[in-house]
Amino acid sequence: MPLAAFFLLGSLAGFWYLHATSRGIAAPDERAGSVLPGWVDPMSIFDGDRALLSPGSIVTLGVAAAAVGRKVYLPTELTGVPTSDPEVWLSRPTNDVGLRYGSDLVIVQTEWQPGTNPSNLYASRAEESKVGEATIIGGYDAFVVLPHEQAPGFPPFSVVLLSIEGTQVAMYGDMPIEQLILIAESVKPASA
């Protein structure tokens, strides 16, 4: 496996590990050498024929918000995204909410453990992995990964992680990073 692939796998596993351990949930599955979490399959997250969250089910936005007991965030700027009506997924065991906008945009929202400092986590991840950049987007702590930073064999999608009021809003876009950042800047609580 090329060195760049190790960096990407480490980066994806690191995002999940930092988030998972801050929430007090299990470490990544290490069977057969895989260090990717069950709900993040970088090869198929845009595939509408596959589950976005596993375990999970398709629900309405109102059901998802009520089940997790926190705000669910939606982008208001979707220029270039063919659909503005997302497929909404809920994983009850983890209280994660997923939104899939066709084959171009996926958003997965998870709750941070109280006391977590996303700014420090994002900065240390950027420093350790040398992939991505910790920044501020729309007034929120953020982490950005450019499509060309993805390892060979992985789809060249853009990644923006936002931390909003105790929720990590992870955005994956099959689009230029500039477009995903514009979408990220428009994220607001849903009025379900």
Predicted confidence (pLDDT) per residue in 14-54, tens digit: 443 444 434 433 333 322 222 234 445 566 788 888 888 88
| Structure confidence at residue 165 (pLDDT) | 93
For residues 155 and 125, what is the distance between their CA atoms, to the nearest angstrom? 21
- The residue among 84 and 36 whose pLDDT is bigger is 84
| Structure confidence at residue 41 (pLDDT) | 57
The encoded tokens of residue 129 equal: 């992995």
DSSP 95-129: TEEEEEETTTEEEEEEEPPTT--HHHHHHHHHHHH
Q: Mean pLDDT over all residues of the chain?
A: 79
Q: 97 to each of 4, 94, 169, how far by Cα in Å?
A: 30, 9, 9
| Structure confidence at residue 154 (pLDDT) | 64
| Structure confidence at residue 16 (pLDDT) | 39
Contact 53, 90 (CB under 8 A): yes
Query: What are the structural domain ranges in the chain?
Result: 3-189
In this predicted structure, the answer to whether residue 145 has a pLDDT above a threshold of 50 is yes
